[in-house]
Amino acid sequence: MSENIERRRFLKCLGAGSLILAPLGCSSVKEEDSNSNRPHYAMVFDQNKCVGCGECKEACNKANNLPEGKSRLMMEQQSGGVEGQKCSHCGKTECDCERKYVRVSCQQCKNAPCVTVCPTGAAHRDPATGIVTMNADKCAGCKYCIAACPYDARYINKDTDVADNCDFCLNSKLAKGELPACVQGCRYDALIFGDVNDPNSYISRLLAVKDSVRIKSHFGTEPSLRYIPIVKQGV
Ligand code: SF4
Ligand code: SF4
Ligand code: SF4
């Protein structure tokens, strides 16, 4: 399956054909799970800050040795206007006045179907961090996890024939005490990573004061990715 087809499936699934961060299909998030001593690693994508430069994707591909044409992360460009209607700023039906971008990647679900269906235990939750990741040696290439993921966020790495997903750079960066590569690569502070079970972490304090949404929360998988939707000026 080509990357373009996979990407279309992913975006269709996320509802990006209209507006990925439109209220429909998203749920507002204010508080994280409390009374837990275990970490819950999460990531925030701030649409207000993203300029669509793609440096996060490049950093990810390099850090995780991904093959040409594959990525754990994609940036989708969206126009701000409503299809068929004229832009309120320039009057054109197609323009870049309100260009915006959305991160599409594994949502790091708390209830992860990819893990549940994997017959070999290759797709699993890291016991120390709770992050959904892969044990490449166990993967049989059956693609059950790919079929089960409601976000179409998984793919087969053609170099290794192993299923893959964004695991917050568990082995490539977190294991060395570093932030995920995409977070390090973003010069615009559009990506924030941390433990939402730590009330003093920056991500916890950010989520306490900013409205954020989970995409397609009705899937019931409790994604750990949060999106801060763009705030329209003058509205
Ligand atoms: S988004 Fe898909 S691949 Fe990622 S944890 Fe959820 S079910 Fe698994
Ligand atoms: S956290 Fe790591 S694996 Fe996930 S998108 Fe960012 S750079 Fe890629
Ligand atoms: S590096 Fe940051 S600003 Fe650039 S596309 Fe990625 S999230 Fe957006």
Whole-angstrom CA distances from 36 to 70, 140, 172, 173, 199 are 36, 34, 26, 24, 11
Percent of the chain with pLDDT over 90: 68
In the sheet where 41-46 sits, what is the strand order?
A: 26-29, 212-215, 225-228, 41-46, 191-195
Q: Return mean pLDDT, the chain.
A: 84
Structural domain includes residue 234:
no
| Total number of domains constituting the chain | 1
Structural domain includes residue 120:
yes
192 in ligand 3 pocket by Cβ < 6 Å? no
With a CB cutoff of 8 Å and minimum separation 6, the contacts of 2 are none
In sequence order, what are the beta bridge partners of 227? 45, 213
The CATH number covering residue 151 comes to: 3.30.70.20
**Closest residue by Cα to residue 69 from 165, 168, 159, 170:** 159
Structural domain includes residue 165:
yes
The pLDDT confidence band at residue 22, using thresholds 50, 70 and 90, is very low
**How remote is the CA of residue 153 from the centroid of ligand 2, in Å?**
12
Structural domain includes residue 235:
no
Structural domain includes residue 93:
yes
Asked if residues 44 and 103 have their Cβ atoms less than 8 Å apart, the reply is no
**How remote is the CA of residue 223 from the centroid of ligand 3, in Å?**
20
Structural domain includes residue 20:
yes
Q: Identify the DSSP state of 147.
A: H
Task: Judge residue 43's burial from the number of C-beta atoms within 10 Å of its C-beta, 0-12 exposed, 13-18 middle, 19 or more buried.
Answer: buried
**How remote is the CA of residue 110 from the centroid of ligand 1, in Å?**
9
Domain of 126 in residue numbering reads as 3-228
Structural domain includes residue 213:
yes
- Write the pLDDT tens digit of every residue in 65-83: 998 888 899 999 876 555 5
Structural domain includes residue 233:
no
